[in-house]
Structure 1
């Protein structure tokens, strides 16, 4: 009679089967996950981009349209002109979203996340999905951080130079601001003098006319000639006074405007008024 298996041997065989079964199950799960990540069994169409610098683009990197993955980056090849030819593998059932106006650029999840390629959508009929196969779409290369830092430094230098020039101008504003103040005061003086002189001139002209009329009573011809002369010259004199008055007001308005516009820029940097010399 053959020897029957002992309970200990049966337990060991059962443990061995459980170990092998769990290992096979784990291996199957890993293979399924890898196949899903690599999109095994999915058909693709190839789209290409050309870039001078592919820093941040790697093989297997996600390709997204409107935030959803539609493919992966394939091969990267350097051509004879020094540009990199990048293969973008797009799932066939989503290739209709890419059209002639589509563009690609590099993006990143947050500040420290993984980079990915983004393609702008330009939908076409679904039956034309394969029409994009083998075509090249434009690629907007990312701006270099070094370039941005250099531009920022140059902008800061220009800003500092402008501030220094403005400070120097406002600090030495004595001559220009004094000239504007003096011109403003002169315009006010001219206006007041003309306003005060005009009535006196009109009164003097009236007095002269009265005197001439009194004297001319003895000689009618002289009276007519004198009155005619006064009638001819009086409008000219009055018009001259009006023109002078109008010119003075216009000059004052222009000077006030210049003083209001340029005055704040000519104030000293610390807000103090310039000391009198």
Structure 2
């Protein structure tokens, strides 16, 4: 084996090792914490949120969306939220879908309430705000400009 082919083989091995490292890192970033508890929240629209999406509290990642299902009776999207045991939310807390930016992804933001009672594992966050569609906002703006010019 020549020195050139050995160098190519080593370079190829390094590229594969770096790619495998990225895959392991990306997979571990989406994992749900091993210990903790789950809450549910039902949204009229959960656009942009998927299984594995971040759950943030005061902008700090504290959990993940572990599952999303459509409730066939209410036609709402029910999200299961996994949180660590040390994050206790008041029972009047809110869950809002936020976006990272104009072209960024979405995440679920938790806003703690002021109640003295905390949510228990399996409880539902009742105060929710669904996703706001940028396209529908733009269409409303265009429609309002068209009606103002008449």
Query: TM-score, normalised on structure 2?
Result: 0.70
Q: How does 1:262-277 map to 2 (within 5 A)?
A: none
Is 1:54–2:43 an aligned residue pair? no
Is 1:115–2:106 an aligned residue pair? yes
Q: CA deviation at 1:151?
A: 2.0
Return the structure number with greater strand share.
Answer: 2
2:86 counterpart SS class: helix
Distance 1:142 1:149 in 2: 15
Return the structure number with greater helix share.
Answer: 1
Is 1:101–2:92 an aligned residue pair? yes
Q: CA deviation at 1:34?
A: 4.8
Over residues 175-223 of structure 1, what are the superposed CA-to-partner deviations in whole Å (9 max), with x where a residue is unaligned? xxxxxxxxxxxxxxxxxxxxxxxxxxxxxxxxxxxxxxxxxxxxxxxxx
Is 1:45–2:33 an aligned residue pair? no
Runs of 4 or more above 4 Å deviation: 30-37
Tell me what 1:142 maps to: 131
Which structure has more relative contact order (CA 8 Å, sep 6+)? It is 2
Over residues 137-181 of structure 1, what are the superposed CA-to-partner deviations in whole Å (9 max), with x where a residue is unaligned? 1220122234323321232133213xxxxxxxxxxxxxxxxxxxx
Distance 2:26 2:76 in 1: 35
Tell me what 1:80 maps to: 72
Q: How does 1:206-217 map to 2 (within 5 A)?
A: none
Contact residue 45 and residue 76 of structure 2 kept, 8 A: yes
Contact residue 104 and residue 139 of structure 1 kept, 8 A: yes
Higher-Rg member (1/2): 1
Tell me what 2:14 maps to: none
Distance 2:104 2:143 in 1: 30
Structure 2 residue runs without a partner (length 5+):
1-16
Cα separation, partners in 2 of 1:143 and 1:113, compared to 1, 3 Å: closer
Distance 1:150 1:142 in 2: 16
Tell me what 1:89 maps to: 82
Q: How large is the RMSD of aligned CA atoms in angstroms?
A: 3.1
2:67 counterpart SS class: strand
Q: CA deviation at 1:109?
A: 1.9
Contact residue 69 and residue 79 of structure 2 kept, 8 A: yes
Tell me what 1:152 maps to: 141
Distance 1:147 1:31 in 2: 38
Q: CA deviation at 1:102?
A: 1.2
Q: CA deviation at 1:65?
A: 0.2
Structure 1 residue runs without a partner (length 5+):
1-22, 162-277
Q: How many residues align?
A: 131
Distance 2:128 2:72 in 1: 19
